[in-house]
Structure 1
Amino acid sequence: MSVPSVPEPVVSMGGLLPAVARAAQIVGHDDDVRILPEEVAVLGRVPQARVWEFAAGRTCARRAMRALGLPASPILIGAHREPVWPRGIVGSITHCPGYCAAAVALEQDLAAVGIDAEPHEGLPAGVLETITSPAERAALEDLPSRPVCWDRVLFSAKESIYKARFTLTRTWLDFTDVFVTVHSSGGSFHGRLLERVADETVPAGFDGCFVVGAGLVLTAVTVAGARPLQSGVGDR
C-alpha cells in the first residue's frame, strides 16, 4: 500500500499545496506566537485555550503571508466566525491538539484554499454514520486496513472541501452534502457535491490531497482561477 506519510516528528501542510500557495505550521509549542491588538478586540472573552489556538492560527497565517512577500496584517473575524483575509488574499486556518497551520495564496492565482488537520485516530462511535452515506462507508471498507484511519481521512477531506467552497459561496455545507472518494494510493481524494446543493457558479467537484504522519491527518483542497466573491474561509 502506498500511503503518503512523512517521518515523525515531521509533517508538512506545505507539501500538499501548489507552488503558488504558501503554508506555515506550528507543531507543539512556539514561544513566538503573537496576537495583534486588533485581533484581541474582535476575539472577545474566550477561554485561555481558545486564545492560544486563535493566536497560533493567526501567527501561522502571517508567516505564510510573509512567505508570499506580503505584509503581516491583522486577520479579523467575519460574520460566520471565519478569518477575514486582507484584500487580494485567500486562505485557510486549521488546528487540532498539538498542531496548527495556515495556507494562503493570492486571489489572482487561486480562487479558494481549504486545509484541515485532525488527530490520526478513528472517529468516535457513531460519527461516521452521521457524516457519510452508506455508499461512502462501503467504499471505505474496500480500502486497505490499518495503519491508516480512513474514516478520519474522509472526515478531514470533507472539512477541507467545505472550507474551500465557503470561500466561493459564503455558505456552509452539511457533511452529507458531498460524496467523498478517498484514493489509498497517491494520497488524493475527490469530493462531488450532491445535486441538492449544486451551484452552477462554483465547481461541482473538488480535488484534494492528504498526508498521514506524526499522529496527524492533514488534508488540503485548492481551486484554480480568480475568486468570484469576497474573501473569507472558515476556521472550523
Structure 2
Amino acid sequence: MASPAAGGPAATDRADPRDDPRGNHLRDRQGTAVIESILPASVTSVESYTDADDLFPEEAALVARAVEKRRLEFATARWCAHKALADLGYPATPILHGPKNEPLWPDGVIGALTHCDGYRAAAVARAGELAAIGIDAEPHRELPAGVLETVARPEEIPALAALASQHPKTHWDKLMFSAKESVYKAWFPLARRWLDFQDATLRFDPADRTFVAELHQAGPVVGGAPLTRMRGRFVVEGELLATSVVVRD
C-alpha cells in the first residue's frame, strides 16, 4: 500500500462536498448512487454533485495554470478518488497522471475517474479482483451536429436510429459516446496504446441496460486469452447518463 504524503490532507479529514445541504446528490434523493448502480460489488465508488477544492501539493501543481472550471473538476474527481481509496482501506495519497493523462493509482489498485458539468466520480478496486475499470458520465443531451459521424461506425448509425425510434426519451448518440469513453478507459491501462472511437462496435440492450463492445484492434491477453470484447452497463437519470466497463481477469 502507498504511504500518506507528508503534509497532505488525510482522507478522513477532508471536507465532504456532499455535506452541503445545497448539493444535489442523487444518493441523498433516491438512495442509490449513479455510478454505484452500474458497478459490481467488488468496486468501490464515490460521486459528488458539488465541488471540493482540496488537493495534495503534488496534485495542485498539475493544474496550477488551469482555469477554475478545469481545476475544480480535477480537484473534486481527486476528492472522490481519495475517499474511494480510503473506503477500500488505502491511506490518503496523491493521484497523479501519466503521459496520456491517465490517473496513476497506488500499487495494487485499479480505477477510473470521470467528470462532466455538475458531476464527478471515481471507482476503484483491488487489482487481484478485476483487470480494469472504465467509467464515464455525460449530460443527457444529444451530441452536437456532426459529432456522431466521428464517434459511430457506419453500421452503428442505423442501430442507434432504431433505438431512438423505440426509446425516444434516451439520447442514444450521447450514450454511445459515453460507452466508448468507458471502453477506452478500461482498455488503455491494459494495452498502453490508443483506441479510437472507430476501433469498437457497440451493441446496446435497452431491456437490461447493458452493451457489448467488439474490439477491432488486437487486444492484450487477459485471463489467458486475447481481449476481443468488453461488456458494460449504462444508466440514465434525468439530465445525467453514465456508463461503466469492467474487465475481469
> Normalising by the residue count of structure 2, what TM-score does the alignment of the two structures yield?
0.82
Which position in structure 1 is the counterpart of 2:96?
Answer: 76
Query: Residues 118, 178 of structure 1: CA spacing in aligned structure 2 closer, same or farther, 3 A cutoff?
Result: same
Separation in 1, partners of 2:84, 2:105: 12
> What's 1:57 paired with?
77
For 2:207 and 2:220, the matched residues in 1 are separated by: 31
Please name the residue that 2:21 is paired with. none
What is the deviation of 1:35? 0.9
Q: How far apart in 2 are the matches of 1:45 and 1:7?
A: 33
Report the alpha carbon displacement of residue 41 of structure 1 after superposing the two structures with TM.
2.4
Identity, % of aligned positions = 44
Partner of 1:43: 63
* Equivalent position amino acid for 2:145 in 1: A
1:198 aligned partner, one-letter code? A
- Flag structure 2 segments of 5+ consecutive residues without an equivalent: 1-25
Instruction: Report the counterpart of residue 174 of structure 1 in structure 2.
Output: 196
Q: CA RMSD in A?
A: 1.7
Equivalent position to 2:235, from 199, 211, 220: 211
Where structure 1 has 5 or more consecutive residues not aligned to the other structure, the ranges are: 1-5, 226-236
Kindly tell me the number of residue pairs found equivalent between the two proteins.
Answer: 216
Distance 2:95 2:80 in 1: 11
Q: Is the 8 A contact 1:34 1:55 kept in 2?
A: yes
Change (3 A) 1:135 1:124: same
TM-superposed deviation, 1:9: 5.8
Structure 2 match to 1:232? none
Tell me which residue corresponds to 1:92: 112
Question: CA offsets per residue over residues 28-57 of structure 1, 9 Å max, x none?
Answer: x24x54211111123341111111111001
Question: TM (normalized to structure 1)?
Answer: 0.87
Contact 1:8-1:214 at 8 Å conserved across structures: no
Structure-2 residue corresponding to 1:131: 151
- Aligned ranges for residues 1-236 of structure 1 at < 5 Å? 10=30, 11-27=33-49, 29-30=50-51, 32-143=52-163, 144-194=166-216, 197-199=217-219, 201=221, 202-225=226-249
Contact between 2:98 and 2:104, CA under 8 Å: does it hold in 1? yes
SS of the aligned residue for 2:184 comes to: helix
Alpha-carbon distance change, 153 to 95 in structure 1, aligned in 2, over 3 angstroms = same
Runs of 4+ in 1 over 3 A off after TM superposition: 6-11
Code of the residue aligned with 2:239 in structure 1: it is G
Letter in 2 for 1:92: A
The 3-state SS of whatever aligns with 2:155 is: helix
Which residue identity is paired with 1:35?
Answer: L
